[in-house]
Amino acid sequence: MDLTRDQGASELFHAQSHLYRHIFSFISSMFLKCAVQLGISDIIHNHGQPITLPELVLELQINPTKAGFLHRLMRLLVHCGLFATTRVHKNQEDEEEAYDLTPSSRILLKDNITSLSPFVVAMLDPALVTPWQVLGNWFRCDQVTPFEGAHGVGFWDFGDQNPEFNKLFNEAMASDSGMMNLLSETASQFLRVWIH
């Protein structure tokens, strides 16, 4: 069957775009994990003001030949709303683009009570991402969960056998619980004020 006869070129293009958007959607998650691993939020926060790309390259201590790749990383993270751009004056004549924090990147700051950095790193760890790779096979096998299908053991047994992953997961849960507790307290305070 020739699809081009049944569908116009525009419809085919939209269908292809739709599929590609879903195929490559994992890239945003991986860029987020990369930003957490590099500590970009903390670097911008500690800089005390928006940071330019050359300053960020210097702070990250990466090879200057990778500055173009860092620029691409930051563009995607800005596009996703994780960071913002602004213009800064380096001298009276020159203006440069600089990166700033957003509410989302502020909750990635490692020293904050509300830091979700451990949660990001754990949820995007290969141990938790791999089960999604075997989901199709899982429907055809007798394993109870996709996690078991990917790793040969259940989640809790895997944690017992892998202390480093267990620590990572526990830090993630503590991080998430800290955020939920803060939100719960804030909601309770709001209700008390609203009711009285």
Q: What pLDDT, on a 0 to 100 scale, did the predictor assign at position 190? A: 58
Note the pLDDT of residue 9.
83
Q: Are residues 60 and 136 in the same domain?
A: no
Clarify whether residues 61 and 76 are in a common domain: yes
Predicted local distance difference test score (pLDDT) of residue 133: 93
Amino acid (1-letter code) at residue 6: D
> How much of the chain exceeds pLDDT 90, in percent?
72
- Report the domain count for the chain: 2
Mean pLDDT value across residues 41-59: 96
Answer yes or no: do 56 and 140 share one domain.
no
Among 7-16, 34-43, 115-124, the range scoring the smallest mean pLDDT is 7-16
User: Model confidence at 86, in pLDDT bands (50, 70, 90)?
Assistant: very high
Average pLDDT over every residue of 161-171: 96
Residues 79 and 140 in one domain: no
For residue 90, give its domain range. Answer: 1-110
Of 130, 128, 104, which is closest to residue 44 (Cα–Cα)? 104
b/e map of 2-19 (b: 16 or more CB within 10 Å)?
A: eeeeeeeeeeeeeeeeee
